[in-house]
Amino acid sequence: MQRIGVFVCHCGTNIAATVDVSKVAEAAKHEPGVVYAVDYTFMCSEAGQNLIAQAIKDYGLTAIVVCSCSPRMHEATFRKVAEENGVNPYMVEIANIREQCSWVHKNMDEGTPKAITLMKTAVAKVNLDAPLQEGEAPVTKRALVIGGGIAGIQTALDIADCGYKVDIVEKEQTIGGRMAQLDKTFPTLDCSSCILTPRMTEVAQHPNIRLFTYSEVQEVSGFVGNFDVKILKKSRSVREKDCTGCGVCMTKCPSKKIPNEFNRGLNFRTAINIPFAQAIPNVPVIDKEHCIHFKTGKCGICAKVCPSHAVDYEIQDEVIEEKYGAIVVATGFDQIDLHKFGELGYGVSKDVISSLEYERIMSATGPTGGHIVRPSDGKEPKDIVFIQCVGSRCEPDDRRGKTYCSKICCMYTAKQSIMTCDHIPGAKCHVFYIDVRTPGKMFDEFYRRAVEQYGVDYIKGNVGKVTPLPNGKLRVHGVDLLDQKEVELDTDMVVLAGAIEPNPSIRPLATKLTLSIDNNNFLNEAHAKLHPVEAATAGVFMAGTVQGPKDIPETVAQAGAAAVKAVALLAKDKLKTNPCVAQPDELYCNGCSVCANVCPYGAITYIEKEVRDHGVRETRRLAQVNPSLCKGCGACTVACPSGAMNLKGFTNRQIMAEVDSVCQ
């Protein structure tokens, strides 16, 4: 029989306001095995932990039940207390009387009886707990960063500077990401490329960093400290080691009418292409979908003109297998498809463009060489309307957009209006907004500069419609909520600040890495406040806009945080493994293989073993679980027809006992 101590936490008033904690502790004293029960204001505090330590000594406790917040919050804390005081950490059970009781029920009449039941259930389980021993697994001292934007670049550099090997996997042909597409950055108006490209070069030259561009993560298996990753390195059809990046092939390529993705389709590129001059690596890729040679077998001009004979149509895709200790996901964002907002003229008029397209137009490396012109006729616009929150802060039933605030649009719109006035003297900018949100260092000052110094006309209100006029202008129909009147403006160009969303590539990647994502496809952190860069899957971290909308400084800061977390993991020589793994009972196992068929990790193998049953010696085929591969999902326990398979920490008897207790 266990000697159980029950510790009931008030959590200040979080629990105590709707649960009579003293009654819970009192009721615990009557449960089988319970020798001590007490309530205290904050069990997780040092004083609370000391209380548990003292009770272990005074009452010779062998098992502990803590009635407190979710086990996802403090199970580790209380296991550590137990371990430090000589009780096996797996002899601790948590009754979740905060998130699943006091916070969802309104008063003590409701909360107290439920809390008592939850306490009893935990006691019933802990009575059947057995001490478990953690195994040890080595750590592969290499990190994988998925995504080569500013988040991935910064993470990789920080990890590499700590002395660990890092691989970056980037699906595009160059690193740089969205930041490479931007013109200037708010609020300092630094040139985006000028601050980014030195970092890109640093990545390329760093002895600890390997770069896999034009590559994708194909398969991930293993676990924290020991991930096995298959990376698909797609064929560029150009040998990287021979290419000098001279660009002759691009000038001679006859397939020239392909929309240029880097410039958001505002101009055309060739089939063999380097997206921008500072690309890393500065090696072209042949787009097989559009290349005449790959379509018809003819042409081959690029191979002929290449002075270093680097073009090779025979190069095949390659799969690279590598082991990693930690993985950082930094796949970034994309702007939503604005074609859904036809009433605002996107897709109808060429002069209605997205803010990211406008960045390309403003950029010196863009399709117009940095001259702001209308895409339709190439004329300089004298009047521009910016519309904010296109697809951001939508009503939940408006399926075209997002309910969240995209966070960066207010600031880049202020920047774009300032830059427009700088580029085109005498230009007039109007901004339609719902709210102007400028929380950040020097942000509000920057916005006020746009209004006061540059005379940008901020109009609080929505735009209902943009109609192209026969004279080439665009008529903007909106409302001015402050003056309470309708507004009609004839303008030369309309820029839509479209919502940002996680890059669509995160969806399949999240499945491969078993990451948790929210309704908008942003990654969920292990804890919103205390584990902001850790994923719920151990050993996986996140940086940048894959976690939520954020600007460049925030992304860089988060990348540093993710790097530190990854390094803290890589610095360990051994990791403790989860002891809650499957265990077959040799007496019941008949070697039928059903469990091995359902195991997603291939953790179950079979051995021929000589056993003695009722005095008879015989050789039997028995299931055997490799504890370092088993992750403890329990699928095999249910599949086993003879009930031989069990899961440590969640045994059949324990769950049955919980069921009994709940139904009592």
Partner 1 sequence: MSVIERTASPEAMLEKDTLAYLGPAEAKKSEGEFVPKIVAFCCNWCSYAGADSAGNARASYPTNIKIIRVPCSGRVNPLFILRAFEKGADGVIICGCHPGDCHYTTGNYYTRRRMALLISMLDYIGVDKGRVEVDWVSASEGARFAEIMNKFADKIRTLGRNVRLEDIRCRN
Under the rule (CB under 8 A), what is the footprint of partner 1? 23, 26-27, 30-32, 70-72, 96, 98-100, 103-106, 108-114, 116-118, 121, 124, 127-128, 510-511, 514, 516-519, 524, 536-537, 580, 598, 600, 631-635, 637-639, 643, 647, 650, 652-653, 655-664
User: CA-CA distance, 113 to 104, in Å (whole number)?
Assistant: 14
CB of 45 to partner 1, least distance (A): 21
Comparison of 33 and 468: residue with beta carbon closer to partner 1: 33
Question: Quick one: 77 or 349, whose CB is closer to partner 1?
Answer: 77
Query: Per the structure block, which two tokens stand in for 482?
Result: 């402050």
Task: Give the nearest distance from C-beta 121 to partner 1 in angstroms.
Answer: 7
Instruction: Kindly tell me which of 72 and 295 has the beta carbon lying closer to partner 1.
Output: 72
DSSP category for residue 125:
H
Angle at 390 between CA 389 and CA 394, to 5 degrees: 75
Q: Which of 195, 181, 187, 219 is nearest to 333 (CA)?
A: 181
Rounded least distance, CB 637 to partner 1, Å? 6
Is residue 309 classed exposed, middle or buried when 0-12, 13-18 and 19+ CB atoms within 10 A define those classes? Answer: exposed
Distances (CA, A) of 436 to 410, 439, 501: 6, 10, 20
Q: Report which of 256, 278, 280, 254 is spatially closest to residue 267, judged by C-alpha positions.
A: 256
CB of 502 to partner 1, least distance (A): 13
Question: Could you tell me the smallest distance in angstroms from the CB atom of residue 514 to partner 1?
Answer: 5
How far apart are CB 77 and partner 1 at their closest, in Å?
Answer: 16
Residue 110: CA atoms inside 13 Å, Cβ hemisphere, count?
A: 10
- Minimum Å gap between C-beta 628 and partner 1 is 16
Beta strands 645-647 and 582-584, pairing class = antiparallel
CA distance 386 to 493: 9
Q: What pairing do the DSSP bridges indicate for beta strands 474-480 and 463-468?
A: antiparallel
Pick the closer one to partner 1 by CB: 394 or 517: 517
Torsion on CA atoms 193, 196, 197, 201, rounded to nearest 10? -170
Tokens coding 25: 């502790």
What residues contact residue 258 under an 8 Å CB cut-off, 6+ apart? 268, 269, 270, 271, 273, 287, 290
Q: Which is nearer to partner 1, 224 or 494 (CB)?
A: 224
DSSP secondary structure, 407-475, as one string: SSHHHHHHHHHHHHHHHSTT-EEEEEES-----STTHHHHHHIIIIIT--EEEES-EEEEEE-TTS-EE
Rounded distance between C-alpha atoms, residue 548 and residue 571, angstroms: 28
Least Å distance, CB 469 to partner 1, is 45
Q: Hey, what are 11's tokens?
A: 């959590």
Whose Cβ is closer to partner 1: residue 112's or residue 558's? Answer: 112
Smallest distance from the beta carbon of 31 to partner 1, in angstroms?
7
Tokens matching residue 56: 């272990």
The answer to whether the CB of 107 falls within 8 A of the CB of 17 is no
State the minimum distance, in angstroms, from the CB of residue 653 to partner 1.
6
Task: Pick between residue 339 and residue 653 the one whose CB is nearest to partner 1.
Answer: 653
Q: Which is nearer to partner 1, 453 or 511 (CB)?
A: 511
Alpha helices in 32-167 (DSSP H): 46-59, 71-84, 108-126, 150-161
The interaxial angle of helices 150-161 and 192-205, nearest 10 deg, is 40
How far, CA to CA in Å, does 651 sit from each of 110, 555, 622?
Answer: 30, 43, 20
Q: Which is nearer to partner 1, 301 or 633 (CB)?
A: 633
For residues 167 and 384, what is the distance between their CA atoms, to the nearest angstrom? Answer: 44
Q: Which is nearer to partner 1, 161 or 228 (CB)?
A: 228
Q: Is the dihedral of CA 189, 190, 193, 194 positive or negative?
A: positive
Supply the minimum distance, in Å, between the C-beta of residue 559 and partner 1: 23
For partner 1, which is the closer residue by CB, 5 or 498?
Answer: 5
Burial status of residue 58 (CB atoms within 10 A of its CB: 0-12, 13-18, 19 or more):
exposed
Name the DSSP class of 177.
G
Residues 10 and 16: beta-carbon distance below 8 Å = yes
* Smallest gap from residue 67 Cβ to partner 1 (A): 14
For partner 1, the closer CB: 482 or 662: 662
Of the pair 296, 519, the CB lying nearest partner 1 is at 519
Least gap, CB of 498 to partner 1 (angstroms): 23
Find the shortest distance in angstroms from Cβ 123 to partner 1: 9
Strand partners, 36: 5
* Amino acid in position 202: E
Closest separation between CB of residue 661 and partner 1, Å?
A: 7
Nearer to partner 1, 503 or 651 (CB): 651
CB-wise, 336 or 540, nearer to partner 1?
540
